[in-house]
Copies of this chain bind each other. A is one copy, B any other.
Amino acid sequence: MKVTVLGSSSALPTSQRYPSAHVLNAHERLFLVDCGEGTQMQLRKCNIKIGRINNIFISHLHGDHVFGLYGLLSTFNLMGRTSTIRLHAPANYDLMLRSHLSDFDINLNYQIEFVPLKNGGQSPVYEDKHVSVTSFPLKHRVEAFGFVFREKPADRNIIKEKIEEFSIPSCMIPGIKKGRDFVTSDGKVIKNKDITVPPPEPLSYAYCSDTMYFAGLSSFVKNVDLLYHEATFDASMTKLARKVMHSTTLDAAKTALKANAKALMIGHFSARYDNVTTLVEEARTIFPATIPAIDGNTYNIRELSARNRLHD
């Protein structure tokens, strides 16, 4: 699992920070989360294969999370895309998007499968062999959603030398990987744990933007390996943060701590901060394993998580 930050600014972009967008690579599936203006250019700069994105998640309908979508959908078309794209977004966006595309006379050669996000609580939104995605409510000025991406536990890995040692037929291997013991032709039971090793721990990544602090949030992102959480403001601006329903550094850190996240990435920085070092330092007073989201950087979630487990 690797996440690439395409934009770390809040609504007002700077020369260094683009509006919100992350790409998660989980088992070579690319999930685009939010799509601020310039997302397609950032994808190109990061050498990410645009055509391999099949799922887009839109957290809420504020322009700095959406305005890159029209260009990206047009670009898919110009690149000859024919495969369906699944768009997970607040329900009322379906009509808005279609009317906007028709205004601009954009006739797509592929389908958009619109998947409305569901109010109320945690809700499964995507699942395949390796990954599942759940949405959950945030608290913002408009209806907003967070997402957790979780790897499914992988099969155990068989130890190659044991195949030869016990003459294990290949038809038995899938079962052994699932945890079965092996019985030799002379009836001897070989314990599964003696011929396999456990797979790496499944990883998880949560995306929370935009939201004010609320106690229940940590339960939605419990134990994630990497929590991305907005921190638009420093702690001295708590009053403004509450008013506009955003978070401070300390809000993000508190949620990470309560959730027992392994690492915290803060972003969605207000344009007032040229340098975000002080924001990171502030969050670290509560949650030491905090890093800043930096445009164009790719983060290895296993490494971030392992680094912090060492500190446990």
B64 in contact with A67 (CB, 8 Å): no
How far is it, in angstroms, between the C-alpha of A193 and the C-alpha of B104 when the chains are bound?
56
Q: Which of B63, B103, B106 is in CB contact (< 8 Å) with A96?
A: B103
Chain B neighbourhood of A99, CB < 8 A: 99
In the complex formed, the residue of B with least CB distance to A43 is B15
How far is it, in angstroms, between the C-alpha of A104 and the C-alpha of B60 when the chains are bound?
10
A106 to chain B, nearest CB (A): 7
- 0 or 1 for each of A70-114: is its CB under 8 Å from B? (1 = yes): 110011001100000000000000001001100111100000000
Q: Which of B13, B41, B45 is in CB contact (< 8 Å) with A44?
A: B13
Is A40 engaged at the interface, CB distance under 8 Å to the other chain?
A: yes
How far is it, in angstroms, between the C-alpha of A19 and the C-alpha of B37 when the chains are bound?
12
Number of interface residues of A (CB under 8 A): 34
How far is it, in angstroms, between the C-alpha of A77 and the C-alpha of B116 when the chains are bound?
30
- Residue of A11, A78, A103 most packed against chain B (CB within 10 A): A103
Is A68 engaged at the interface, CB distance under 8 Å to the other chain?
A: yes
Q: Which of B12, B18, B38, B106 is in CB contact (< 8 Å) with A75?
A: B12
Is A14 engaged at the interface, CB distance under 8 Å to the other chain?
A: yes
B12 in contact with A61 (CB, 8 Å): no
A45 in contact with B15 (CB, 8 Å): yes
In the complex formed, the residue of B with least CB distance to A92 is B103
- Residue of A40, A41, A79 most packed against chain B (CB within 10 A): A41
In the complex formed, the residue of B with least CB distance to A101 is B63
In the complex formed, the residue of B with least CB distance to A12 is B78
Residues of A within 8 A of B (CB): 11-15, 18-19, 37-38, 40-41, 44-45, 61-64, 66-68, 70-71, 74-75, 78-79, 96, 99-100, 103-106, 142
**Knowing that A12-B75, A37-B41, A67-B67 are A-B contacts, what are 14 other residue pairs whose CB atoms are under 8 Å apart, sorted by A's residue number?**
A13-B41, A19-B71, A61-B103, A61-B104, A62-B105, A63-B70, A63-B106, A64-B71, A64-B74, A66-B104, A67-B70, A67-B71, A96-B103, A99-B99
